[in-house]
Amino acid sequence: MDFIATSEKKFGKFAIQGLTTKLVVIQVLFFLYIMLSVDRGVDYHKVILDLNIGQSHIISDIIFIVATPASSGFLWMFFGTYLFLMFGHALEQTWGDYKFNLYILTQIVISLLLLILLRSMTSSPINQLITMFSTIHFIVFLSFTTYFPKFELLLFFILPTPVRIIAYLYVGYIFVAIWEFPLFLKVIALIACFGSYLLFHMHLFIHKQKQKIRKASYDKRAQNSNPHATFHKCHVCGKTEEDDKDLEFRICDDGEEYCLEHLKSN
């Protein structure tokens, strides 16, 4: 995204380094605060609401968006923060501190604004849905899945499952949950849950579609020019699928086709 590259030159110095670790520290401290409050006989669900200022829900909304595992019991706290730490560090290394900071901030702002809007309009269960899935943990998980789709987690501590499968299940659950909502509320829910993700990843999907179109166009031109010609030919070594049936080819941004060996060196 050109905007991110341009803005980083001006504001990159303000990026918080190691933001993932700092957020996990906040989650752990809040979890300890909840546990101490519960030990004093206070329902931990009420602890978050007690942090509100007057009738405002802003404080509790921010806590849910930033520190969701801390408000969900010890088991989810342990695994939720562990996975967030792992996924967040991977994204920080992939993107850099500034882009990761901007991604987290964008999600917090979008979720907070939409929750405030909805509370002034409706008491629908959509508020609970957005609170669950408009968190930084969910969008970090989605981004990690996009870049590392084959990474495996032990589902139910037994089944090795690629994270992309788990992501499909999460997304499917969201669509089922909003199925009976009015159209306007469906749109609000989808923006809250996926708004920042789409802003930061849409260019990847567009680029992938462009590659498919270029490949289809290339194959069509090759077939029309010579019906007996091979479909694929490496621009560097000249190998075709006739030379090796297991050889894979890719089309690069320059419009030329390369075998995997020379794709890496291109």
Residue 110 DSSP SS3: helix
What's the rounded Cα separation, in Å, for the pair 11 and 29?
Answer: 29
Q: The whole model's pTM is what? A: 0.71
Query: Could you tell me the residue ranges of all domains in the chain?
Result: 2-203, 207-265
Provide the token pair at 148.
């590392």
Distance of CA 92 to the CA centre of its chain: 13
Q: Are 65 and 111 in contact (CB under 8 A)?
A: yes
Q: Which of 137, 156, 147 is CA-nearest to residue 27?
A: 137
Instruction: Evaluate the CA torsion angle 18, 21, 24, 26 in order and state its sign.
Output: negative
Per the CB < 8 A criterion, the answer to whether 203 and 1 are in contact is yes
Nearest CA to 119 out of 185, 193, 53 is that of 185
Residue 120: half-sphere exposure toward Cβ, Cα within 13 Å = 8
Distance CA(233)–CA(241), nearest Å, equals: 7
Q: Whose CA is closest to 34, among 50, 22, 47?
A: 47
Residue 152 dihedral angles phi and psi, to the nearest 5°: -110, 140
Tell me the C-alpha distance between 255 and 238, whole Å.
Answer: 15
Task: Give pLDDT, residue 145.
Answer: 92
pLDDT score at 144: 93
Q: Which two tokens stand for residue 189?
A: 């829910």
Q: What string of pLDDT tens digits covers the 266 residues of the chain?
A: 577 777 777 877 788 888 889 888 888 887 777 777 655 554 545 555 555 444 456 666 666 677 666 555 666 677 778 888 999 999 999 998 899 999 999 988 888 888 777 766 655 555 566 666 667 888 899 999 999 988 888 776 677 888 889 889 888 988 888 887 778 778 888 888 888 899 888 887 787 777 777 777 776 766 665 555 566 777 677 777 666 667 777 777 666 777 777 766 55
Cβ contacts of residue 113 below 8 Å, gap of 6+?
A: none
> What whole-number distance in Å separates Cα of residue 89 and Cα of residue 91?
5
**Calpha distance 157→253 (Å, rounded):** 42
User: Whole-angstrom Cα distance, residue 266 to residue 54?
Assistant: 61
Quickly list DSSP for 232-248: -B-TTT--BTTT-TT--
